[in-house]
Amino acid sequence: MSRFLNDRYLSLKEYVPGEQPRDMKYVKLNTNESPFPPSEGVVDAINADSVRLLKLYPDPDCSELREKIAGLFGYGKENVFVANGSDDILNFSFMAFCGADSHSVVFPEISYGFYKVYADLYGVDYTEIPLAQDFSVDPEDYIGIGKNIVIANPNAPTGLALDRATVERIVASNPDNLVLVDEAYVDFGAESCVGLVGKYDNLLVVRTFSKSYSLAGARLGFAIGSEGLIADLNKIKFSTNPYNINRLSMIAGCRAIEDNMYYMNNCKIIARTRRRVTEELRNIGFEVLDSKTNFIFARTPEMGGEELYAELKKRGVLVRHFARESIKDFNRITIGTDDEMNVFLRAVKEILGK
Ligand code: PMP
């Protein structure tokens, strides 16, 4: 830290991303990336011609990409916001909509760790709501709460999801507050709330190309919401970084939408592998939460979460462990290819002597 840092940030605890190791080749099951490459359409579109055009700024309005996304979900371009990863959208949303008093915000105590970081960054008045005993989000805690709400659905790192009707009850019961539903993992088997956006002007659905669309490295996220909410997000974007999506990512996103079938099929493959791995782990005594995502959250009574994480790492398999007391027995395991998961399962069995 230098002596120049604004006092406001002295106690800020930044988000710690999952490891991106360079020391050796791991079976990498720690940051919920897709095991499948982008579609051939995307690979072809990023070519010498598109690289040459990097000399020019990208379209600050992101018109083509917004139109393509809008078309996929049956909305207009004015209902779509795009940004540099969904993290960027969460950042803008906390900046735009959250603060003190009527702008205060609640989110689950165990959820995506970045919500708290943004809340701290912007000095937002926030409350973390504990999960139920079974690690689910209890909707009753949010009904008519009269504060802004941020929920990941499915939630991370638990992988558990609320159904659409339940989220709708939360949205409908808080008409004067924003409900941001982070659907980063929805394509892997949960019910999306995008269809509710036309009905509720207080609902913002945030999505990403990083998981189901195999584009984590492109940094591309989008949000769907009422025209007013999208205009507010654009106000923040044009007040910070108008060219927040680079040309190549914009091209990749457009082509990915055109190849939607390829990606949705990959999601089905991942969901099938998830079911198999869940079953195999349960057969050897693991508790595995009922995931609707591209990862599972699992613990064994035979070994602590951190130790299992370390033993797996020694064997070249990287998973994610969170030190937080209430979930320290668990590991979050990204679903890779069937071959990768076989390596993972073999390593687990070896470690536990099964
Ligand atoms: N929301 C959730 C729940 C996540 O797990 C992640 C990935 N770390 C993100 C948002 C951010 O994803 P990205 O910025 O890659 O779109």
Contacts (Cβ under 8 Å, ≥6 apart) of 137: 108, 131, 151, 153, 155, 160, 162
| Proportion of the chain above pLDDT 90, given as a percent | 96
pLDDT tops 80 at residue 24: no
Predicted pLDDT at 209: 98
pLDDT of residue 319: 97
pLDDT one-digit tens code per residue, 131-158:
999 999 999 999 999 999 999 999 999 9
Q: What is the percent of the chain with per-residue pLDDT over 70, rounded to a whole number? A: 100
Query: Could you please report the per-residue DSSP string of 122-140?
Result: TT--EEEEPPPTTS---GG
CATH of 40-259, one of 3.30.2350.10, 3.40.640.10, 1.10.3720.10, 3.40.718.10: 3.40.640.10
Query: What is the model's pLDDT at position 105?
Result: 98
At 25, is the pLDDT very low, low, confident or very high (cuts 50, 70, 90)? confident
- Listed in order, the ranges of the chain carrying CATH 3.40.640.10 are 40-259
Is the backbone of residue 332 left (phi > 0), alpha (psi -120 to 50) or beta? beta
Q: Ligand 1 centroid vs 52 CA: distance in angstroms?
A: 30
Residue 86 CA, closest ligand 1 atom number: 16
At 23 the pLDDT is: 75
Ligand 1 centroid from CA 183, angstroms: 9
Q: Is the pLDDT score of 20 beyond 90? A: no
Query: Which ligand 1 atom minimizes the distance to the CA of 208?
Result: 16
CA 154 to centroid of ligand 1, rounded, Å: 12
Is it the case that residue 21 has pLDDT exceeding 90?
Answer: no
Residue 129 C-alpha to ligand 1 middle, in angstroms? 20
Atom of ligand 1 nearest to the CA of 87: 14
From the CA of 184, how far away is ligand 1's center (Å)? Answer: 6
What pLDDT was estimated at residue 192?
98
Q: Which ligand 1 atom is the nearest neighbour of the CA of 84?
A: 14
Instruction: Of 223, 133, 114, 237, give the one whose Cα is nearest residue 179.
Output: 223
Q: Give which of 95, 39, 91 is closest to 218, Cα–Cα.
A: 39
Q: How confident is the model at residue 95 (pLDDT cuts 50, 70, 90)?
A: very high
CATH for 7-37+261-352 is 3.90.1150.10
> Which protein residues are within 6 Å of ligand 1, measured from CB?
85-87, 112, 152, 156, 182, 184, 208, 210, 216, 221
Q: Write out pLDDT tens, residues 203-262.
A: 999 999 999 999 999 999 999 999 999 999 999 999 999 999 999 999 999 999 999 999
Ligand 1 centroid from CA 182, angstroms:
8
The pLDDT of residue 199 is above 90: yes
For the chain, residues classed under CATH 3.90.1150.10 are 7-37+261-352
Ligand 1 atom nearest to CA at 152: 3
User: What would the mean pLDDT of 13-34 be, rounded to a whole number?
Assistant: 90
The pLDDT of 287-299, averaged and rounded, is 98
Is the CB of residue 192 less than 8 Å from the CB of residue 186? yes
A 10 A CB-CB count for 310 gives 12
Instruction: Please choose from 19, 33, 86, 155 the residue to mutate so as to test ligand 1's pocket, defined by most ligand atoms within 8 A of CB.
Output: 86
Give tens-digit pLDDT for 166-185. 999 999 999 999 999 999 99
Q: What is the pLDDT of residue 22?
A: 81
Angle between helices 338-352 and 260-283 (to 10 degrees): 20
pLDDT at residue number 18? 85
